[in-house]
Amino acid sequence: MTIKAVRGVHDILPVEAATWQHVEATARRVFEAYGYREIRLPIFERTELFARGIGEVTDIVQKEMYTFVDRTGESLTLRPEATASKLRAYIEHGLHVQPKPVRLYTVGPMFRYERPQAGRYRQFHQLNVEALGEQHPALDAEVIAMLIDFFKALGLADRLQLELNSIGDAACRPQYRERLVAYLRAHAARLCEECHERTEKNPLRVLDCKKAECRPVLDGAPALADFLCEACADHFARVRRYLEAMGLAYVINPRLVRGFDYYVRTTFELTTTHLGAQNAVAGGGRYDGLIELLEGPPEAGIGFAIGMERVVLLLGSTVETPKPVALLIPLGEAALARLLPVAQAVRARGVPVDLGYGQRKLRAELERANKLGVAHAVIVGDAELERGEAIVREMKAGAQRTVPLADLAAELCVLGGRA
């Protein structure tokens, strides 16, 4: 039997590569304009990092990690997200001595054992951003503005909605949690099995339940916004004010609690109605305290992750795969030897050309030129060699002209826009 890719894991094929590269290049341009620098991180870490950094009672740690024991008996995990790794590196390399906030981004695959469906995979890719060491609410607004700028640059911003919430901090969340648990227990009969379990383990996550049967109870649940302490309420009000100052529209979603333990205060998500059930395209929040939890300095942090597969799905096939400018067709060995260095010189200037190897008939090569979608074919046979010329054929119109072989490389550069 032929071996196929693992379930929930997919190949990104050459026809999709231009779109992926466009998404990544746009992210780099936007993030770097805001002062973010790339950090490249390992794909696997000690399991303990995620258990501590994401939280023992989260779905990710309890059900979704790809964990294995290596030959030394150590438990390792394929990273399910990037924040914990980034903070580990930040602490390990003493990056906190740099001027604050320290702004870092990374791009790469994440691994979660989830039930695969459209837009949800077991290996997927994220663009991750963190700004560390600054707790001013203007940073929250600035980070969100950058996220929106990225989607504006891709022409997708009008298909997304910014959802915003504050989930309080260690000063005010415990009181809320208590009230919420009391409420959920009182209404347990009308909640699903999973909600019962979460009520005891991670009650805020109950608010996230998507099942219709649980909705009425959850709609009536006490709202965290009513429990925010003064400092959290002030922080949230200022984040909103700064967003408004930048003309950024948002909706408050009191149920936006997100799947990680580490968030405090600001949480946000970009959602869309264009992707079916998987409506979240990006999400993030503030995590003051997490760096300290990982035994770093007591510093604030905020970040987000963008799901690249979902961005690519939203973009559709709008980014064209680049095509060679010309197919060079040598008819025979001597012509091949003459055209090889021409192709090399042109490619060295960054102009993409394709080359036949002189074995096929002209008709077969012209068919290949059509399939490749090149605008021009350059034909050189023995007669042309003798005259020191090449025939340049416009594929669409079929019009042909001759160009001195000595000028061919320069001519191809002109056709490729590199005069």
Query: How far apart are CB 301 and ligand AMP at their closest, in Å?
Result: 15
Q: What residues does 393 pair with on adjacent strands?
A: 377, 400
Phi-psi region of 366 (alpha: psi -120 to 50; beta: other; left: phi over 0): alpha
Amino acid (1-letter code) at residue 157: A
**Contact region with ligand AMP (CB under 6 A), list: 18-26, 97-105, 121-129, 181-189:** 121-129
Q: Which parts of 32-51 interact with ligand AMP (CB under 6 A)? A: none
The reply on whether position 130 binds ligand AMP by CB under 6 A is no
Residue with smaller CB distance to ligand AMP, 310 or 376: 310
Least distance to ligand AMP from the beta carbon of 88, Å? 17
C-alpha dihedral (24, 29, 31, 35), degrees to nearest 10: 150
Nearest to 20 by CA among 345, 288, 308: 308
Alpha carbon distances (Å) from 335 to 34, 67, 305, 382: 52, 57, 53, 7
Residue 194 and residue 214: Cα distance in Å, rounded? 10
Interface with ligand AMP in residues 309-328 (CB under 6 A): 309-310
CB of 331 vs ligand AMP, minimal distance in Å: 50
Which of 31, 36, 90, 124 touches ligand AMP (CB under 6 A)? 124
**Angle between helices 14-33 and 137-153 in degrees, nearest 10:** 140
Q: Residue 58 — left, alpha, or beta (φ > 0 → left; ψ -120 to 50 → alpha)?
A: beta
Residue 407 CA from chain centroid, whole number: 44
- Of residues 30, 49, 65, 81, which one binds ligand AMP by CB under 6 A? 81
Q: Among residues 10 and 196, whose Cβ is nearest to ligand AMP?
A: 10
Does residue 261 interact with ligand AMP by CB under 6 A? Answer: no
The least CB distance from residue 120 to ligand AMP, in Å, is 4
Ranked by CB distance to ligand AMP, the top (closest) residue is 307
Residue keyed to tokens 């605008």: 375
Applying CB under 6 A, which part among 112-120, 151-159, 162-170, 317-325 lies near ligand AMP?
112-120
The one segment of 114-122, 177-185, 358-366, 405-413 that binds ligand AMP by CB under 6 A? 114-122
List of residues 6+ apart from 403 with CB closer than 8 A: 389, 390, 392, 411
**Calpha distance 144→123 (Å, rounded):** 26
Query: Is 27 a binder of ligand AMP (CB under 6 A)?
Result: no
> Per CB under 6 A, which region of 29-37, 224-232, 278-286, 402-410 contacts ligand AMP?
278-286
> For residues 233 and 250, which CB has a smaller minimum distance to ligand AMP in the complex?
250
108: left (phi over 0), alpha (psi -120 to 50) or beta: left
Kindly tell me which of 163 and 389 has the beta carbon lying closer to ligand AMP: 163
Asked if residue 305 binds ligand AMP (CB under 6 A), the reply is yes
Ramachandran class of 265: left when φ > 0, alpha when ψ lies in -120 to 50, beta otherwise: left
Residue 133: CB minimum distance to ligand AMP, A: 22
CB of 29 to ligand AMP, least distance (A): 20
Whether the upstream peptide bond of residue 101 has omega within 30° of 0, thus cis, is yes
126 to 34, 288, 308: CA distances (angstroms): 19, 22, 5
Stretch that binds ligand AMP, among 9-17, 119-127, 172-180, 214-222 (CB under 6 A): 119-127
Only one of the segments 87-95, 101-109, 305-313, 326-334 lies at the binding site for ligand AMP (rule: CB under 6 A); that segment is 305-313
Q: Which range, of 117-125, 151-159, 210-218, 241-249, touches ligand AMP by CB under 6 A? A: 117-125
